[in-house]
């Protein structure tokens, strides 16, 4: 079973800042890594698939990188609507989620 560890647990940033979120897998998941955004009271929304591909309708300020065991989600310049929870998920051996990173207003 693959474990995903996300860091940091909480990221406190101001609007316009660059956000860098990390997801580390316990073993290689190749590029089968996705990122989701979840706002309070809402279902998750797919942001990134295949480690670096933006899903339909996702703004260009969101980007993903990495392969193997280390992955990064970058938000180049935080907009007010980007404050949310972010989860990574592997699709290499199953459907495991990371524990999430909360991006909050500093």
- The residues binding other proteins (CB under 8 A) are 32, 34, 36, 38, 43-46, 49-50, 55-56, 85, 87, 89, 91-92, 94-100
Smallest distance from other proteins to CB 100, Å:
5
What CA–CA distance (Å, rounded) separates 79 from 65? 20
What CA–CA distance (Å, rounded) separates 102 from 85? 4
For other proteins, the closer of residues 18 and 104 by Cβ is 104
Smallest distance from other proteins to CB 92, Å:
8
Angstrom distances, CA of residue 5 to CA of 17, 38, 75, 81: 23, 17, 19, 25
For other proteins, the closer of residues 14 and 95 by Cβ is 95
What CA–CA distance (Å, rounded) separates 106 from 98? 23
For other proteins, the closer of residues 50 and 68 by Cβ is 50
Smallest distance from other proteins to CB 70, Å:
18
Report residue 32 as tokens: 């089968």
């Amino acid at each position: 079973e693959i474990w995903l560890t996300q860091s940091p647990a909480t990221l406190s940033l101001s609007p316009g800042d660059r956000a860098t979120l990390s997801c580390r897998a316990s073993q290689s998941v190749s590029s089968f890594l996705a990122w989701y955004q979840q706002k309070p009271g809402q279902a998750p929304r797919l942001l990134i698939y295949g480690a670096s591909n933006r899903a339909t309708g996702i703004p260009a300020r969101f980007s993903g990188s990495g392969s193997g065991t280390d992955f990064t989600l970058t938000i180049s310049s935080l907009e007010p609507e980007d404050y949310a929870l972010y989860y990574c998920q592997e699709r290499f051996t199953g459907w495991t989620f990371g524990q999430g990173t909360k991006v909050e207003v500093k």
